[in-house]
Each structure stands twice: as structure tokens, then as C-alpha cells.
Amino acid sequence: MADPDESDAAADAKGTMEVTRNTAVLFADVSGSTSLYETAGDAVAVEAIERCLAAMRKATETGGGRVVKTIGDAIMALFPTSDLAAGAAAEMQHAIDQLLPVASTKLGVRVGFHFGPVMQRDGDVFGDTVNVAWRLVEQANRGQIITSQETMADLGPVFRAWTRRLYSIPVKGKASEVELCEVIWSQRADTTAISRHREAAKPAQVILRLKYGELERRLRRNPDSITIGRELSPGGMVVDDANASRLHCTIERRQDRWVLIDHSSNGSFVSVEGEPEVMLRREEFTLRRHGSISLGQPRASALEVIEFFCD
């Protein structure tokens, strides 16, 4: 990946650039490509990496961003908000994680993003925000999403709840160090726990009840999950609503919590009794107590509503 500092110098030599509003700059870099070239050969490796780049581009565009350019095995993308960048980053990780190994090599992706002002000209962007984002992806390991403490503070409560502080690093041109944070996109067994003292705690036996018309489903096992949408999936729940996506959202158990993950175009609307309704788009939300879920539109205007109970 080219050093953004060099790009800045070249851009400054061409003339004056315009200052744009604050933007989330994201770098996503394919991990494992070097060994794939060695084991599988150029043709196979290039095809596999192109599939990764296509998945990263799709996650960017459906997540409300745009790809500025491809730099070798990486992409640089822009998003209007930190939340959209975090959601797209998580979608990239999920998409690449689902790809099958190629020639016994499992490709991954490392992501870094930072929110701040950028200099823009001819469709490209430059400046301190770009440089910081580039340093963040350098710090990321395979399967990690790294952001700055400053950007973490800008995230909405849904994403901020799934971050943890790491350590600080020096960044060229900045007087003080940048504190790194990780966005947790997976709760698999090999994911480091945010609070180590909770590792030994036995998950509570929380049962989730879902009611949709005459249909009622109970989920209790760990792990356990259910997919909701217009299309029938194994063990899923079909909702007859034109505003719903085919595979609209998933509810899965994570330790002692039930988490709704939205995959849709129109969003999921969740109401917890006694609290304001929350709209999720490519975001996650922890279900609690009693409430309702409507797909693609607020509950007030929805004809099809799922009621949930956390017992």
C-alpha cells in the first residue's frame, strides 16, 4: 500500500485542493495474499484476491460509502459517518470470513478507519485523516477492525458498545500519540474477551420468545440463532411484508445476551418497552425485557410485527 504522505506531496504540487466536510476514511487490506501467490501461482491468486476486493467494494457501496481507489490488494473508501464505516467494515469481515480457502490458504482482511476533515480534489482525498487511517490499518491484524479513540467517541451507542481500547501509537506529523480502539465484529470462541474477569462466568439461562401472529418460537441454547425475512431459511421465520428483505435480520445468542443483527436495505426497527424506537441499518442491538421488531418501517406504520420476550 502506498504511503499517504507521498500522495499528499504529489497532490500539493498540482495545485490547491478544496476542504470538504468531515469524512470517515477507511482502508481495507487483504491478508494472506503473499503466501497465496507462492502456493497457488499468480493466476489463481489474482482471481481469489479479486473476489475479496469485489466483496469489500460491495460492502462499501451497500453500506453507504464509495470506493475512492484500489491500491494493490487494498481499497480506500469514504463514508459520511463513523457508524456507516463501522458497519461496512464488519460486513467486509463477515463476507471475507465466509469465503472458502484457496489452495489451502484462507484469505482475511484487516481494516482501519478514522473520522475527520479531508482535502478533496478530482475524486481523491488527502490530509491528516487519511494518514491516520492508513496508520490504523497498518496496526490491524488479520480479522481486526481498528479505529482511533477519537473516532470511537463519535460512534453511536450500538457500535460504541462493541469497542475496546487497545494502546497508543505515534503518528507522523501529530504532536500526541493516537489511542487505538478495536471494533468487535465477531464473538467467536477465539475472540479475546473485552472484560477478562467475565470469562469464567457461566452464561445465564436466558430464553428468547418470538411471537408472530399464531407462530411462537423459543430460543435457549448457546449458541442458537434464527434468521428472519421474506425468504424461508433453515430454522428461520418468514415475515410476509413487502418492506422486508429476503434475509432481513438475524438474532443470535452471545453468552447471556440475545443480539439482533440487521442485514437489510430498509432497516430493522426495534422497540423496547418504555424506551424510544431504534432503527438499525447494518447494525446490532441487544434485545432485553419485552418489545417488538418491525421490518423495513416503524412499528406505527407496520402491518407485520414480531413481539419478543427475554425471560
- The pLDDT of residue 88 is 92
Average pLDDT of the residues of the chain: 82
pLDDT digits (tens, 9 = 90+) for 117-171: 988 877 788 889 999 999 999 999 889 999 999 999 998 887 888 888 888 888 8
Closest to 20 (Cα-Cα) out of 114, 118, 126: 118
Q: Look up the pTM and report it.
A: 0.57
Q: Are 257 and 272 within 8 A, CB to CB?
A: no
Same domain, yes or no, for 139 and 22? yes
Q: Which of 148, 183, 218 is the last residue of a domain?
A: 183
> Which residue, chain included where needed, has cell 447494518?
282
Q: Rounded mean pLDDT of 162-186? A: 86
Q: Rounded mean pLDDT of 159-185? A: 86
- The pLDDT of residue 195 is 34
Q: Which of 168, 183, 198 is the last residue of a domain?
A: 183
Helix axes 33-40, 42-62, angle to 10 degrees: 150
Same domain, yes or no, for 218 and 174? no
Assigned domain for 201 exists: no
- The pLDDT of residue 192 is 41
Assigned domain for 220 exists: yes
Same domain, yes or no, for 47 and 153? yes
Q: Are 10 and 112 within 8 A, CB to CB?
A: no
CA distance 113 to 3: 15
Same domain, yes or no, for 46 and 151? yes
Same domain, yes or no, for 139 and 249? no
Same domain, yes or no, for 72 and 152? yes
Instruction: Return the C-alpha cell found at 295.
Output: 421490518
pLDDT digits (tens, 9 = 90+) for 273-297: 888 888 888 888 889 889 999 999 9
**In CATH, what number is assigned to the domain containing residue 102?**
3.30.70.1230
Same domain, yes or no, for 255 and 157? no
Assigned domain for 188 exists: no
Q: Is residue 178 predicted with pLDDT exceeding 70?
A: yes
Range of the domain at 114: 4-183
**Lowest-confidence segment of 55-69, 212-226, 234-248 by average pLDDT:** 212-226
Assigned domain for 189 exists: no
**Strands, E assignment, 53-138:** 66-71, 74-79, 108-116, 119-121, 124-126
Assigned domain for 202 exists: no
In this predicted model, which residue has the larger pLDDT, 194 or 98?
A: 98
CA distance 208 to 309: 6
Assigned domain for 198 exists: no
Q: Rounded mean pLDDT of 223-230? A: 81
Q: Is 271 exposed, middle or buried (0-12, 13-18, 19+ CB in 10 A)?
A: buried
Q: How far is CA 171 from the centre of its chain?
A: 25
Q: Is 147 exposed, middle or buried (0-12, 13-18, 19+ CB in 10 A)?
A: buried
Q: Which of 145, 166, 183 is the last residue of a domain?
A: 183
Phi, psi of 129 (to 5 degrees): -60, -40
Assigned domain for 85 exists: yes
Same domain, yes or no, for 119 and 213? no
Same domain, yes or no, for 174 and 231? no
- The pLDDT of residue 223 is 54
**Lowest-confidence segment of 4-18, 39-53, 175-189 by average pLDDT:** 4-18
- The pLDDT of residue 58 is 93
Same domain, yes or no, for 137 and 246? no
pLDDT digits (tens, 9 = 90+) for 81-109: 999 999 999 999 999 988 888 877 888 89
Q: Is residue 62 predicted with pLDDT exceeding 80?
A: yes
Phi, psi of 256 (to 5 degrees): -105, 20
Assigned domain for 191 exists: no
Same domain, yes or no, for 168 and 222? no
Same domain, yes or no, for 289 and 147? no
- The pLDDT of residue 219 is 85
Total domains in the chain come to 2
**In CATH, what number is assigned to the domain containing residue 303?**
2.60.200.20
